[in-house]
């Protein structure tokens, strides 16, 4: 049976890099892996706007029938996804100034939230080229720190609920390399 794994978190936390490491480690163990990137293309809509969030939410929702089809075919041992629908909702909540987010997760899937300190995020984002940072709205470090804080608050509240299943596993990447984070995720998967 295909196992589905989501990796979430704010820009610069290492989602894509860790996703690549996890895919490589799973494949090295003899597993077949399908990876859904964060998005298949970048639209001509400014990131950090409500319009972008609406577009991005549609992209995330559009992945579900593809996931269902891949699961029905049962040709992959693992499907890895960069971001979940709640990622989009958290970014949107920051833009709109809301905190009321309903997280609805499916049983049988694994969910990981990667976090990092504000200083670590700033350091990682500063290592990216300026064009990329402008394009992804990564120059507004307060905006990104607000979102980082919202992820942690909302996910921690979600995980505290007695009735919440499945839980979202939180990994602080502040002092870990991407490979260390991938190793930690691999331990949690087995």
Q: Write the pLDDT tens digit of every residue in 38-77.
A: 876 677 888 778 898 899 999 999 999 999 999 999 999 9
pLDDT < 50: residue spans in the chain: none
Instruction: Give the pLDDT of residue 114.
Output: 96
Instruction: Give the pLDDT of residue 20.
Output: 95
Q: What's 27's domain CATH number?
A: 3.40.50.300
When divided into structural domains, the chain yields a total of 1
Model pTM score? 0.90
Instruction: Give the pLDDT of residue 26.
Output: 97
In Å, what is the CA distance from 8 to each residue of 38, 125, 173, 186? Answer: 10, 17, 12, 16
Integer Cα distance of 86 and 8 in angstroms = 9
Instruction: Give the pLDDT of residue 136.
Output: 64
Which residue, among 181, 187, 188, has the nearest Cα to 20 in the 3D structure? 181
**Two tokens, residue 91:** 């970014």
Residue 167 lies in domain: 3-189
Instruction: Give the pLDDT of residue 38.
Output: 85
Integer Cα distance of 6 and 19 in angstroms = 9
Which residue, among 6, 2, 30, 38, has the nearest Cα to 185 in the 3D structure? 6
């Amino acid at each position: 049976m295909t196992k589905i794994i989501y990796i979430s978190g704010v820009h610069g936390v290492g989602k894509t890099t860790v996703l690549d490491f996890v895919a490589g480690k799973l494949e090295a163990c003899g597993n077949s892996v399908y990876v859904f990137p964060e998005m298949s293309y970048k639209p001509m809509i400014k990131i950090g706007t409500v319009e972008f969030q609406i577009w991005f939410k549609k992209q995330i929702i559009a992945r579900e029938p593809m996931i269902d089809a891949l699961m029905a075919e049962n040709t992959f041992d693992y499907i890895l996804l960069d971001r979940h629908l709640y990622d989009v909702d958290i970014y949107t909540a920051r833009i709109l100034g809301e905190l009321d987010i309903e997280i609805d997760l499916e049983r049988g899937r694994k969910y990981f939230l990667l976090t990092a300190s504000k200083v670590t995020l700033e350091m990682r984002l500063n290592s990216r080229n300026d064009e990329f940072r402008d394009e992804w709205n990564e120059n507004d470090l307060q905006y990104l720190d607000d979102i980082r804080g919202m992820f942690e608050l909302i996910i921690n509240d979600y995980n505290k609920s007695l009735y919440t299943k499945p839980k979202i596993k939180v990994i602080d990447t502040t002092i870990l390399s991407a490979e260390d984070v991938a190793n930690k995720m691999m331990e949690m998967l087995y």
